[in-house]
Amino acid sequence: MVYVYNYYDGDTGYGWAWNAWGQGSAGLGSEYGYAYDYSYITIDPIFGKSGSTFYEADLISSYGTDTNPTLATATNLGAIIQRTLSILDSPNTSSFSVGTDPGSNNLVPADVDMYRFELNQAGTISLETSRPQNGVEMDTILRLFDVYGNNLGTDDDTGSGFYSRLNAYLEADTYYFGVSGYANFSYSPTSANSGVEGSNGDYAISIAFYPNTTPFVGDPNGTATGARDIDALSSFATAGGADLPSIIGLDTNVTGVDPTPENLIAVGDKDVDLIKFTVDPGLVIFQTSDYVPDYIGKFGQTRGQAYLDLLDSDGNGSFDDSIDTVLRLFDASGNQLAIDDDGGEGLLSRLEYVFTTAGTYYLGVSGHGNSTYNINTLPDAVDNDSSRRSGSTGSSLLSIILQPETAPQDPNGVFYGAIPVDLLYGSNLTLSEHIGTDILADTTISVTGGDVDLYRFVANESGVVLIDLDTAISNSLNTYLRIFDGNGIALPSPYFNDDSTAQGFNRDSLTELGNNSTDSFVRLDVTAGSTYYIGVSASGNQTYDLNNLDGRTNPSVGDYQINLQYGGGATTATDADGYIHANLPSFNLTQTNTGSSNLTSLQRNIANDDQVAVGATDVDFVKVNFQGTGTTPRILTATARGIGTGQSALVPTVYVFNGQGDRLSASTSSSSPNTVQISLNPGTDYYVGIAGYGNENFNPLIMGSGTSADTGNYTLDLSLSGGDRQLLSGILNAANLKGSLYGNSLDFDIDLFGQGTPRTYTLDSTPRTILASLGEDIDQASATAEESNAFGRIYIEAQGLTGNAANVTATSSDVGADDVDIYPISITESGAYRFTTSGTGIAIDDARPTLKLFDSQGASVTLNNYGPQGLVTGNVLADLTPGDYYFVVMSTGTGTDQFAFGNDPGFSSALTEAQLREFYQNTGNYQLDMVKASLDQPNTWIDRGTSFAQRFSLPLDVASLQLYGASGITPSLRVNGPSGSVAGSLVYDEDNNTLRFVPTNPILAAGNYTIEYNDPSDFKAEGTNVTASNLQSATFSVPAAGPVVYLPSFARGPGQPVNINGTGIPVKISDTDGLTNIRITVDYDPDALNITDAQLPDALKDIWEIVGRPTIASGRVTVDLRDKLNDGVSSPLLSGDREVIRLIADVPTSAVFNSAEVLEVSAGARAGSRSVTISDSTAVQKVAFFADTNANGRVNSADAVSVLRLAAGLSNGFDPFDLVDPN
């Protein structure tokens, strides 16, 4: 592997890239190598070829050769006949390793072992990996491929432990399977070194072949024909509920049974598990879960050990493969009645439905992305069913919960309807709920018979859960709290409570202002792996049975909050100062002064509190505050240092929190001391926490929530800066690149700051331009440039530093990767001001800075950050009033706090790859432009095809635009043509501040067109009060109509195919008279549209042909087509508007919902030897579901009402789609 400081990618056309790394089988310059750019500018698959140039390359590391990663280099197992294998050491098993290959001579970090085998007859193949005797355990990935490299199946953990198992029915042919380490899922079977580094270790291969088995067809239980029939729900779920396992991606090869390792077979990511049932009127809740609850054997069929091993192979109580499920409910004819994606826990589903008619129904379980399938497709036709999409795969447990009442009584007040709570050890959770109502299918219903809210919670570690119910004083609800075990049996005292004050983990009572004395509290001791139920009701309704609604009363109703805190179990004794609470030791720091001996100094121990052994998870908190006049802040300096020397000395880390537990700052260096400096407000309590190095992720509100780390003695020094020094100290705290004014200090290159008096810039409408550099400073001020770090000397004096730090004379201009440039500015007129940094366009020379602004008191000023655009590397806007400010340009990166105080981080012969990466990303030249902002047009409207585009000087607030003329509203912009107003869409491109008008009809009549602004004040800058004052209209002339190539505008949602009046997107030409050759090019956004192929329309299939394959790359597809010359006879197209090609496409599941993109289509054509000019056009793609007018992801009666209101002129448009033509 080599590190490339400066690389020119000549063969792919990406141009310059900086801080890339390359690897190749024959070293730097190999045509078989790769170049990867850390800033994602280029991935060059032919590194060093065809004009590429590399400079200053260093060898970083050398890896071994992967000897069998592809189909071409696969280890050949020969023909598989029953269980005999041709070359394995034993009849059906042999051992290998991932991470090294025979002859590789070194570590192979992204190792793939590919194997080839042949089947002479059809049958079921079973592939399994396992840990060999005395082998190093690993986590394998098993993938199956056909002879062309198409993926036929993938498995992670279906085998024992973290090993894999995969079954598949295959026809006679040649096949391949690959073994890799987790998470190397997506390597290409035809390209070496195409994966990512994964788990390494040893594995054994076991292969079994069963010839003449029943052919596996499509998706066996994924259609109405093959759905698993569980008959009447009342009989199947005799105890009010039942469980069914569902594995999306795999099916059983035996109808109507639960999955076991022996009966699974691969289906793929379009898999659907369909269940058929009959039901009587009443409420049924369907929900998926990814854990194995204690009551799994309480109802439904008995679960065998094989089933549990299959789904929970590591025994941690959770299914091995996480999945994002979708539930769909259908009637007997296959019409969808309801759908839910993420209504359950996390990405899981919960669908609540009230059946009003007894009958037969179907429930489908699928992965997110596959939510449009047709259940009436025949099993052998699902592979070609375009309604089935690739989706999430994995295991889940489907729970079916019955409440056989026509009108639901209390959906979440019974055992099987409990609300799952996602609470992990070391976390806290607050829910706002109501006694007297429940939510059912997104609708609030009244519960009049004695409401109970039941929550289900699975403990992932042994510990303590504090359960606190709070109501407001004005609320009439008197709460009661009960706890039940996993079988629904009520726990005895003290696990029920009527009226009690909340407590902390140390059992101290807590003062809760504004709450009722009738609120409830329980401290619950929990055991890892156990399930608990928390019941909340009104006092007086506390004898309810979880399994029925009998005997419940309704003494009071109202709102409440349930607060859950989970921790305390990792310590052997109470850590009294280990979390934020009211009774912590408190220190008033008003009289302290940083830089003098006036400090508050404490000596403490991590692991012991006042002779009480707490353990290695110990955290020590103290409360600090100060009194002052007005709102002037002061700077807290908190320094912790271990007592002692050598490797055994404690390295204490320092944290500062507010009273809500929000982390404000931290210093977590691996070397002592650690110091935090942060601005504090007077009269406010803050909390300083000290932990051992390595215990960084504790929850400050939860006792014992951290991890075991270093222990030992330490001192903590606390002090505040003097009132006249806080501003300067605070601004320069940002030099450590912690991300804001409030961070650590004293760890940057203070001895390299220059001397002098800073220059102040007065800003107005005249632009001020400064050329500067991050990484280097100007030591001598001049008439044309300022000393960027002139505050350095003043800072040294303000901090009272002595010794070498105070006597440094800066003679070097090299500052390094943690350089900070500070510009004092003066504002004399209120308004919005724009600050931009830009580069030269040569990436290796340009800085990519972070921009910040502070007022004269050191407070951070809110910036509207518009992000980089082209050569602009930083782009911010601020609303400012008259006064003095400090604009700060600093390096961007996460590695700058790695370097010791006083060192120059930029020039060392022993830099690591990460430090090299950081240095070259964080340093370079920049141009700073500062000016009072205005919203105007830097250029005129331009036409592209049949659309018109205008770039604005600032990002637009598109929500302020009026687009429709209904009900007397005047549109902000209007396009007029020969026949009057032209309908169309406005599409805003925020990357370059461009507004584009795309006509609904892409074929414009000949004549003049005028773009008029009816009210320029509708055009406002985003995030600020800048309004356009003078926008110029424009006139275009469209010549007499010739042939135009065009395609329709359309709306499709994420995961949907784009089929418009047939399969694919039709591309048409308005007049095809005499055409014999056509080239179609469409430019699109690949993040919003995935074009995979092209096909001729039916009318042309016999007389025209596509030449070669469509070229699809980087958001552009090009298709060449021509007449076939059947028997030497040409078949030119006749005159008239004609469809010439269809593009096969879908919307990626990752596409941004509600976004809009412009499609540009162009064409070249010939009629025999004559060239024919064809005009370009544009269309709009909206990432939305067709007819989903309220953008909620579903189409229902509410959308129909919206359409009717628009048609009747009662509405002006659809708010969620405010930039799209309603036509």
**pLDDT tens digits for range 762-785:** 898 888 887 777 766 543 333 333
pLDDT in tens, 528-587: 888 899 999 999 999 998 877 888 988 999 999 999 999 886 444 578 899 998 889 999
Angle subtended by helix axes 791-798 and 726-733, to nearest 10: 120
Q: What is the DSSP letter of 862?
A: P
Domain closes at, from 32, 47, 62? 47
Q: Is the pLDDT of residue 675 over 80?
A: yes
Task: For residues 1000-1021, give the mean pLDDT.
Answer: 83
Q: Is residue 981 part of a domain?
A: no
What value does the CA radius of gyration of the chain take, rounded to a whole number of Å? 35
Alpha-helix residue ranges (DSSP H) falling in 299-455: 305-311
Residue 1011, H or E segment = strand 1007-1013
Residues 37 and 103 in one domain: no
- Do 325 and 418 share a domain, yes or no? no
Task: Evaluate whether 823 touches 786 at the Cβ level (below 8 Å).
Answer: yes
Model confidence pLDDT, tens digit, residues 188-217: 888 877 777 788 888 888 887 877 666 666
Domain extent at residue 97: 75-210
- Residue 442: partners with Cβ closer than 8 Å, 6 or more residues away: none
Same domain, 246 and 371: yes
Instruction: Examine the domain organization and report whether 1058 and 1123 are in the same domain.
Output: yes
Instruction: Identify whether the C-beta of residue 1002 lies closer than 8 Å to the C-beta of residue 1159.
Output: no
The runs of H, that is alpha helices, within 265-326 are 305-311
Q: Are residues 36 and 106 in the same domain?
A: no
Judge whether 1117 and 1054 are in contact, CB under 8 Å.
no
| CA–CA dist 930, 837 (Å, integer) | 9
CA 524/CA 532 separation, integer angstroms? 10
pLDDT digits (tens, 9 = 90+) for 26-63: 333 333 333 433 333 333 434 444 444 443 343 334 45
Query: Looking at the predicted structure, is the pLDDT value of residue 730 above 90?
Result: no
Structure token pair of residue 1060: 């418009």
| 769 and 718, same domain (yes or no) | no
Distance CA 776, CA 788 (A): 9
pLDDT averaged over every residue in the chain: 75
Cα distance between residue 744 and residue 739, in whole Å:
10
Residues 43 and 81 in one domain: no
Is there a single domain that holds both residue 122 and residue 255?
A: no
Cβ-count burial 549-559 (b if 16+ within 10 Å, e if not): beebebbbbbb
Statement to judge: residues 250 and 299 lie in one domain: yes
Q: Looking at 598-667, which runs of residues are DSSP E strands?
A: 600-606, 608-609, 612-613, 619-625, 634-642, 652-657, 663-667
Give which of 660, 673, 658, 854 is closest to 747, Cα–Cα: 673
Residues of the chain above pLDDT 70, percent: 73
Q: Give residue 938's pLDDT band: very low, low, confident or very high (50, 70, 90).
A: low
Q: 327-331, 875-879, 1153-1157: which has the highest mean pLDDT?
A: 327-331
Q: Is residue 765 part of a domain?
A: yes
The CA distance from 457 to 527, in Å, is 12
- pLDDT tens digits, residue range 1028-1041? 777 778 887 887 76
| Alpha carbons 223 and 379: distance in angstroms, whole number | 6
Q: How many other β-carbons are positioned within 10 Å of the β-carbon of residue 487? A: 12
Whether 113 shows a pLDDT value over 70: the answer reads yes
Q: Cα dist. 731→561, 666, 902 in Å?
A: 41, 17, 19
At 394-432, the pLDDT tens digits run 778 888 877 655 445 787 888 777 888 878 888 888 888
Structure tokens at 407: 């009108």
Does 1217 reside within a domain? Answer: no
Angstrom distances, CA of residue 1124 to CA of 245, 1094, 1100, 1103, 1168: 54, 17, 10, 6, 13
Write down the pLDDT at residue 833.
92
Bond preceding residue 673 cis, omega within 30 of 0: yes
Bridging pattern class, strands 1138-1146 and 1111-1113: unpaired
More confident residue, 1165 or 747: 1165
Q: How many separate domains does the chain show?
A: 7
Question: Tokens 């071409």 — which residue?
Answer: 72
1004 in any annotated domain: no
Residues 388 and 433 both lie in one domain: no
Higher pLDDT, 1063 or 126: 1063
With bands split at pLDDT 50, 70 and 90, how would you rate the model's confidence at 260? low
Query: Which of the listed residues 517, 538, 567 is the one where a domain comes to its end?
Result: 567
Answer whether residue 952 is part of any domain: no
H helices present in 1026-1127, as ranges: none
Q: What is the pLDDT of residues 972-1001, one digit of tens each?
A: 888 888 888 888 888 888 777 788 888 888
Confidence check: pLDDT of 5 > 60? no
Query: At 960, is the secondary structure helix, strand, or coil?
Result: helix
pLDDT at position 860: 77
CB burial of 258-295 (b: ≥16 within 10 Å; e: otherwise) equals: bbebeebbbbbbbbbbbbbbbbeebbbbbbbbbbbbbb
Number of H helices, E strands in the chain: 6, 76
In a domain, 912, yes or no: no
pLDDT reported for residue 85: 41
| Three-class secondary structure of residue 1197 per DSSP | helix
Task: Look at residues 710, 735, 760 and tell me which one is the last residue of a structural domain.
Answer: 735
Closest CA to 407 of 374, 464, 448, 379: 448
Q: Which two tokens stand for residue 872?
A: 């602009």
User: Sign (positive/negative) of CA torsion 280, 286, 291, 294?
Assistant: negative
Q: Determine the average pLDDT of the residues in 818-825.
A: 73
Angstrom CA distances, 369 to 335, 824, 1115, stand at 19, 52, 22
Whether residue 663 contacts residue 678, with contact meaning beta carbons closer than 8 Å, is answered with no
* Location of structure tokens 């412009």: 1158
Mean pLDDT lowest among 316-320, 505-509, 510-514, 945-949: 316-320
Residue 105 lies in a domain: yes
CA atoms within 13 A on the CB side of 756: 20
- 790 lies in some domain: no
Rounded to 5 degrees, φ, ψ at 995 are -105, 125
Residue 758 and residue 713 in one domain: no
In the three-class reduction of DSSP (H, G, I as helix; E, B as strand; rest coil), residue 1187 is classed as coil
Q: Which residue has the higher pLDDT, 1172 or 1193?
A: 1172
Distance, first Cα to last Cα, the chain: 56
Here the tokens at position 1159 are 């499609």
CATH number of residue 352's parent domain = 2.60.120.380
My answer on whether 600 and 687 are in the same domain is yes
